[in-house]
Amino acid sequence: MGMENLRRYGRAPFKVAVIHGGPGAPGEMAPVARELSQVTGILEPLQMATTVAGQIEELHVLLQENAGLPVTLIGFSWGAMLSFIFAAQHPRLVKKLVLVSSGPYEEKYALGITQTRLSRLEGEDRKGAIRLSEALDGPATAGKNAIMSRLGELIAKADSYDPMPTDSGPVECQYEVYQGVWEQASELRRSRRLLGLGKGVRCAVVAIHGDYDPHPAEGVREPLSRILEDFRFILLERCGHRPWIERNARDEFYRILVQEMRD
């Protein structure tokens, strides 16, 4: 794995890694990595593989070569689900799993996410989101990264409760990664194999979720509480999909993360 796939923050030992979502949104966890690096060394892998198995192997190689094992994984959105799969397949390498704004683990909870987002957009934003979604799913191949990026900006509006201005910079979206990985991840969920993997998770798992997140909290809390032996769920009030930008939840979010890293 080339070093372009990894960012380091703070000083060794690097016993915590933040795992971005998307799939295909490398770099979106940079603000969280910078904040947490005031406490301990942080790794930020940038996932490039276009399959679920490929992303698991990327993470495996990177952590083996760079992390102080076992490691605490802080996964966001798709990155939470990827971290869940990784912990099931490599239980000895993971000390703790922190799932931030995870996608749901059963298909029935995922069915209303798109409609929730569209219902929160108005006028041209709503029309634009529909148009961009159709273009992203269309047969044309040119410009898909840019389309995904513009759609992501609109989705971020729908996903946020009371966001603060951020200087984290744009994330370079990768449609090829998104298409390849999410198709497989969706099938894992539909077939219930995703939730079944939880039987292989041996570490403590903490889920942090905003009450305004369009990904329903019950889609994380209910399935995982059935399958995991050591599971806690924390609901943040007045908080959307990205807690670190939310005016009402940011401080509590970081307080929780620091506490979990230290425990």
DSSP 3-state of 38: coil
Confidence (pLDDT) at 168: 61
- Convert the pLDDT of each residue in 162-178 to its tens digit: 999 876 655 788 999 99
pLDDT tens per residue, range 121-162: 999 999 999 999 999 888 876 789 999 999 999 999 999 999
237 close to 202: Cβ distance less than 8 angstroms: no
Is the Cα torsion angle 101, 187, 24, 84 positive or negative in sign? positive
Q: What is the pLDDT of residues 73-108, one digit of tens each?
A: 999 999 999 999 999 999 999 999 999 999 999 999
User: What is residue 137's predicted lDDT score, i.e. its pLDDT?
Assistant: 84
Task: Quote the CA–CA distance of 86 and 78 in Å, as a whole number.
Answer: 12
Q: What is the pLDDT of residue 1?
A: 37
pLDDT attached to residue 95:
98
Residue 49 DSSP one-character state:
-
List phi, psi (to 5°) of 179.
-60, -50
Structure confidence by residue, pLDDT tens digits, 207-243: 999 999 999 999 999 999 999 999 999 999 999 999 9
Is pLDDT above 50 for 3? no
Taking the model in full, what pTM does it have?
Answer: 0.94
Query: DSSP secondary structure string, 84-96?
Result: HHHHHH-GGGEEE
CA distances from 1 to 16, 45, 60, 82 (A): 19, 10, 10, 18
d(CA 34, CA 203): 25
Strands 42-45 and 6-9: antiparallel
Q: How far apart are CA 19 and CA 2, in angstroms?
A: 17
Angle, in degrees to the nearest 10, between helices 144-159 and 175-190: 60
What's residue 2's pLDDT? Answer: 39
The tens digit of pLDDT for each residue in 188-201 reads 999 999 999 999 99
Cis amide linkage into residue 26, ω under 30° from 0: no
Instruction: Classify the phi-psi angles of 237: left when phi > 0, otherwise alpha if psi is within -120 to 50, otherwise beta.
Output: beta
Cα(215)–Cα(83) distance, rounded to whole angstroms? 17
Q: What percent of the chain has pLDDT over 70?
A: 97
Residue 24: pLDDT above 50?
Answer: yes
Segment holding 178, helix H or strand E? helix 175-190
Amino acid at 79: G
Structure tokens at 98: 């922190």
Whole-number pLDDT of residue 169: 59
